[in-house]
Amino acid sequence: MADATRVPIVGGNWKMHGTRSHAAELLHALRAALDGITDIEIVICPPTPWLADATDALSEGTLQVGAQNVHWETEGAFTGEQSAAMLVGTVSHVLIGHSERRHVFGETDEQTNHKFRSVIDAGLTPILAVGELEAEREAGTTEDVLRRQLHAAFEGLRTLPIGTVIAYEPVWAIGSGRAATPEIAQEAASAVRSIVADRFSESTGALIRIQYGGSVNADNASDLAAQPDIDGALVGGASLQASEFASICGAFAHAHRLSEA
């Protein structure tokens, strides 16, 4: 059972999908289905051109808006990029270290660290994604990979803001329809928590929220939500349909209520 002291957080990562009118419809439907829920936090991460639309559409409600990417400098000649400072006022959260950034765009651990720190410096909340490749899991090195990615992202930090979210996303489970089993997800989330506790403090480890991501859907969300170290989900494909995403949010809200009972 999840820990009642940690409020679950579910993120919807739309990636590079949709049209402006589809985004408007989806935001409307998400607000209708999920606004006012306080058992969990919900963060919607649309593509950059619609971030401000999302902020407007969700204003004065409980749904929050996150960006999918950021550059680590505050300003400068960086065509096509946006700084964390520029996102302040529009978003509350920023995804960092997503496997598509790492493996499709070649982002290094060092760049992930710069981005992570720039988001914290700007006063925004990072959602830091880590996770192993299939070959790394088969080689038995999952925990080493998680430790390397986390330590690299934390380089130069003396403390970790307690609001920080870490998403455990095995690369082989993302977009594959092959979610990790609840046991595998729990084992990795527990390893992430220990690594954070060792690097910062026991209380940081105990308070930080850890999401699972990778082919989460309405059918598998409840079993994932029942795991003691899984405090939410980072949802890709299933976040593009309001009813499916709402079911996933409902599963985590239900698990949280059970943990409080």
Q: Rule CB under 6 A: which residues touch ligand PGA? A: 13, 169, 174-175, 213-216, 234-238
Which of 57, 52, 45 is closest to 211 using CA atoms?
Answer: 45
Decide whether 100 or 200 has the Cβ nearer to ligand PGA: 100
CB of 125 to ligand PGA, least distance (A): 16
Alpha-helix residue ranges (DSSP H) falling in the chain:
20-34, 51-57, 84-87, 99-103, 109-121, 134-138, 142-154, 182-199, 202-207, 221-225, 242-260
* 98 in catalytic set: yes
- Residue 169 is among the residues annotated as catalytic for this protein: yes
71 or 101: CB nearest ligand PGA: 101
Structure letter (DSSP) for residue 134: H
When the beta carbons of 8 and 214 are compared against ligand PGA, the nearer one is 214
Q: Minimal CB distance to ligand PGA: which residue?
A: 236
CB of 244 to ligand PGA, least distance (A): 10
The active-site residue, picked from 41, 136, 169, 244, is 169
Q: What is the 3-state secondary structure (H, E, C) of 4-62?
A: CCCCCEEEEECCCCCCHHHHHHHHHHHHHHHCCCCCCEEEEECCHHHHHHHHHHCCCCC
- CA separation for the pair 10, 74 (Å, rounded): 28
Q: Least distance (Å) from ligand PGA to the CB of residue 175?
A: 4
Choice between 96 and 174, CB closer to ligand PGA = 174
| The one catalytic residue among 98, 107, 114, 136 | 98
* In the complex, minimum distance from the CB of residue 229 to ligand PGA, in angstroms, rounded to a whole number: 18
Residues with a catalytic annotation lie at 98, 169
